[in-house]
Structure 1
Amino acid sequence: MLAVLQRVSEARAIVDGETIGEVGHGLLALVCAERGDTPAEADKLLAKLLKLRIFTDDAGKMNRSVQDVEGGLLIVSQFTLAADTSGGNRPSFTNAADPHTGQALYAHFVARARAAHSLVQTGRFAADMKVQLINDGPVTVPLRIAPPA
C-alpha cells in the first residue's frame, strides 16, 4: 500500500460543496491500495503512519508522532498514487487494486485507524473530491508497504 502524508495545520475533504471530513493540526493521509495488497499491508502502513515522528518537539526537532501530539487524521483514498508514467505521457493505473479490493482495504484501514486513534475523519471512496489543506512546514512524506514477493 502507498500513502502520501502531509503534516497540516488544517485539511478538509469536500464532495458536492459539502465538507465530509475535516481536521485541524494533524495529518492528511492520501492512501492507495495496490494489486496484491492485503489487510496485512494496510495494518503495517497504519502502524508506520501513527508512529512516524514528523511533528516537532520543544527543541524544534521532528521527534513526535501524530499520536504524541493528539493530532487529527484525515484519510482520503487516492488510487492515482499508483500511477505508472514510464510508458509515455498518459499515466497507467494498472498497479492500483481493483475498485472492490481497493474499497475493502480502504474500509479496513479506516476502521483500524479509528480503533487506534482518537480523531479520524475521511473522504469518500471513489468520489470526486476537493481536498483543501494548509501544509505545515511544509512536510510531505511518502510511505510504501509492499506485499511479500
Structure 2
Amino acid sequence: MGIAAVAALVAWVYLVVGHGRFWWARASLPEGREPDEWPDVVAVVPARDEAGILPETLPTLLGQEYPGRFRVVLVDDGSGDGTAQVAAGFGADVVRAGARPEGWAGKVWAMAEGCGRRASLISCCSPMPISLMRPERSAGSSGRR
C-alpha cells in the first residue's frame, strides 16, 4: 500500500473509533435553559423601490417567533415607489437613509444608517435584496430565531 492509502486508512479508523458514529450527528442543538431575559433583536433591511415585493416578504419577517423584543427596521434608500409607506403599513419601523458620503455603496450605506439608529444588543443586517427574502424560503423552518 502506498503512504497515502495508509494515511487515509489511519484517518478513517481514528474517526470511526475515536469519534464513534460521528456521521449520526443530530441536526438540532442540545436542550438548554431559557435565559432569564432575552436580548432585543433588530432586523435591519435596506430597501430601494421594493414596494411591490414588500407584501410578500415583510409579513414573514415581522411574524418571527421570538420571546424577547423583535422589530424590523426598514431603511428606505431613496425609493420613488412608496416603499416607506408600504413598510410602515405593515408595522416596520422606517428610517430614511441620509445623503450617502463619498466612497460608500448604496446598500452598505443604508445598512450602516439602519444599524446606527437602532438600540439593541443583537442586530441582523440583511445585505440581500429584499426580493430574495421570499416566504417559501423559510416555510419549512420552525422554532425560535
Higher-strand-fraction structure: 1
Shared fold (TM-score greater than 0.5)?
no
Q: TM-score, normalised by structure 1?
A: 0.37
> Radius of gyration: which is bigger?
2
Q: TM-score, normalised by structure 2?
A: 0.38
